[in-house]
Structure 1
Amino acid sequence: MELRHIAGFVAVAEELHFGRAAARLNMAQPPLSQQVRGLERELGVRLFERNTRSVRLTPAGEGFLPHARQVLADADLARRAAVAGGSGEVGRVSIGFAGASSHEAIPKLTKAVRAAHPGIELRLQGQTYAGVALARVADRELDIGFVRLPARRSGVRTRVIQHERLVAALPSDHRLADEPDIEVADLAEEPFVAFPGTEGSSVRENMVRLALEAGFTPRIVQEAPDSYTILDLVAAGVGVTITVSSVQHIRRSGMVYRELRGDVPTIGSALAWREDNASAALHTVLRVAERVLPTPSSGEVRGLQPGLD
């Protein structure tokens, strides 16, 4: 069945007059009559009882009419979805991120996309550490990944959305808890808690790198999958950790954050996507992200805030 034949049937069924239906469709009456007869032959039933004075639907025509209308409505919806999809208004975008460090960015982005482009479905995948997110973007398993720099993969572009400092988290009864800031070397004999070493956590990688530069290898006594659990373990006295400044919204009784003295590098948090990903929906989301998660100036670094002990 062709859509134009179904449209012709619906027009005649609604007008109950071949001349008016043909005028409505901007066509001559004879071709319309031929379309209806062809549709009847294909279906093997008569859809209309007609004579020189009247046209009326047969029981078969009455049964066919609501489904014919639905076919035309679905075809129109498909056409509009295709047009909207080409403009980036409809589609699906997958985003990988890793929990606490994205607690501000993810809600900002998702709310802005849903408000401006409700036809775009965001598929959020948490517990996707920076290294894993980068690899999955490179392998086309994710459209966007929240990563940390450096993020070098062939074909992957990045844009910085935040600069962060590395800070220490200590139990509140720790010997260094009353110091305003500490040296990384001061933690050489301490037990550490950290993200799993096999999950591509850039926070863990930076913690180990800082310790090695300070002359020791951190003794990791327990691993946990997210910042919330890691900081719970710190508050419980299991060990200390080095983390990023963006998690300081997590407040725990029995735990304090302390700045690290010396030449502690900042870490760029970024969005990553494949530059050859032609999805219009993806590029719409990236444009929204540029508005709600702008690239900060090099001097904007998220540091400690008062009252987070």
Structure 2
Amino acid sequence: MEARWLEAFVAVAEELHFGRAAQRLHIAQSPLSQTIRRLESSIGTSLFDRNTRSVSLTPAGRALLPLAYRVLQDITLATAAARAASGRVHGSVRIGFSGAFNHMTLPVLARAIRRELPDVDLQLVSRVRTGDGIAKLRNGTLDIAFVGLPLGTGGDIDFRLIARSEMGAVLPVDHPLADEPEIAVRQLADDDFLSMPMDGSSTMAEGLVRCCTAAGFRPRVTQEVTDPYMMLTFVATGMGVTIAAEDLASIMPRGARWVRLSDAPSYMHHGIAWVPSEQTAAVAAVLELSQRILPTPLIPAGT
């Protein structure tokens, strides 16, 4: 009897449908049926009653199921113990990121994970804004999320600052102020603004409103864009202006320009977040590695 035979048996026993069980195991239905027949031949009795309309467990199948669970659990525990003894970290880590906002932080961390934690299966999930990332951390579909700070969330989420970037204006190159070395936010009061979603899910959108409010006006947002690079592209087409972090200046599309602000500096704070109660060994190892690869920057007092 082989472990994979028991895995096939459990899948069919839980699904009571050979097609769904085959899909779950990522195999074709014919090899699955052959595996069940080998298991039944090895045991010497039928485990399933099946016809064209239904599949059900026989008394022998019902007796085998709890024992099959136990054997598979023992194999999992034995594998984990052997891996722990080897000193190598195994497992999967799902990291959510927004895209353009993380072009300077995600690549260096991902390369370090592949280099120093080769047995960790790294899964990257794109287009995850701060609000989305927090929700996905809480529902267990992400392990780590790149986020904007502050979070303003409950105590179930831990986070750490990894970078900060000064906010500036993004203007079309033919804008009257595009060639200025710096401008005041107030000079944009009559412009149409493009923004990330204003529903509270984007700290970049909150930063835009914060800068404009401090300058004495509410921005006239004519279009909200969910993708940050697309927002910059729309600026390049002349559809409006925006305020964005300086770390986007290096990937500005042709036709758009980042311009420093003469107002009191305002910053975008970038961080990573995770749920401490849900840490696996692999997640803990990635977080420890991130401390070295993306250390918390020293910020002068009062800035």
TM superposition score normalised by structure 2: 0.70
Would the aligned equivalents of 1:192 and 1:219 in 2 still touch at CA under 8 Å? Answer: yes
Would the aligned equivalents of 1:85 and 1:281 in 2 still touch at CA under 8 Å? Answer: no
Would the aligned equivalents of 1:172 and 1:255 in 2 still touch at CA under 8 Å? Answer: yes
Aligned length: 233
Would the aligned equivalents of 1:88 and 1:282 in 2 still touch at CA under 8 Å? Answer: no
Structure 2 vs 1, CA of residues 141 and 76 (structure 1 numbering), >3 Å: closer, same or farther?
Answer: closer
1:114-151, Cα deviation, whole Å (9 max, x unpaired): 12222211221111101221232234332111111112
Would the aligned equivalents of 1:170 and 1:256 in 2 still touch at CA under 8 Å? Answer: yes
Q: Can you give the 5+ residue segments of structure 2 that lack an aligned partner in the other structure?
A: 4-41, 45-73
Structure 2 vs 1, CA of residues 94 and 43 (structure 1 numbering), >3 Å: closer, same or farther?
Answer: closer
Give how far 1:265 is off: 2.3
Structure 2 vs 1, CA of residues 43 and 191 (structure 1 numbering), >3 Å: closer, same or farther?
Answer: closer
Q: Which amino acid aligns with 2:161?
A: V
Aligned pairs for 1:2-151 (under 5 A) are: 79-84=78-83, 89-151=89-151
Q: Which amino acid aligns with 1:151?
A: L
Q: Does 1:157 align with 2:158?
A: yes
Match of 1:244 in 2: 245
Structure 2 vs 1, CA of residues 173 and 158 (structure 1 numbering), >3 Å: closer, same or farther?
Answer: same
Q: Which amino acid aligns with 1:192?
A: F
Q: Which amino acid aligns with 1:257?
A: W
1:229-288, Cα deviation, whole Å (9 max, x unpaired): 111111111100101111112132222110111212223211111121231110000111
The whole-number CA distance in structure 2 between the counterparts of 1:78 and 1:287 is: 25
Q: Which amino acid aligns with 2:297?
A: P
1:19-68, Cα deviation, whole Å (9 max, x unpaired): xxxxxxxxxxxxxxxxxxxxxxx867xxxxxxxxxxxxxxxxxxxxxxxx
Identity of aligned residues (%): 35
The whole-number CA distance in structure 2 between the counterparts of 1:130 and 1:283 is: 21
The 10-residue stretch of structure 1 (165-174 or 225-234) with the greater mean CA deviation from structure 2:
225-234
Match of 2:220 in 1: 219
Which protein is bigger by CA-based radius of gyration?
1
Q: Which amino acid aligns with 2:173?
A: S
Give how far 1:78 is off: 7.1
Match of 1:200 in 2: 201
TM superposition score normalised by structure 1: 0.68
Match of 1:190 in 2: 191
Q: Which amino acid aligns with 1:267?
A: M
The whole-number CA distance in structure 2 between the counterparts of 1:251 and 1:112 is: 26
Structure 2 vs 1, CA of residues 259 and 85 (structure 1 numbering), >3 Å: closer, same or farther?
Answer: farther
Would the aligned equivalents of 2:148 and 2:202 in 1 still touch at CA under 8 Å? Answer: no
The whole-number CA distance in structure 1 between the counterparts of 2:84 and 2:110 is: 18
SS of equivalent to 1:222: strand
Q: Which amino acid aligns with 1:247?
A: L
Match of 1:58 in 2: none
1:93-128, Cα deviation, whole Å (9 max, x unpaired): 111110011112111111111122222112211111
Would the aligned equivalents of 2:172 and 2:235 in 1 still touch at CA under 8 Å? Answer: yes
Would the aligned equivalents of 1:89 and 1:117 in 2 still touch at CA under 8 Å? Answer: yes
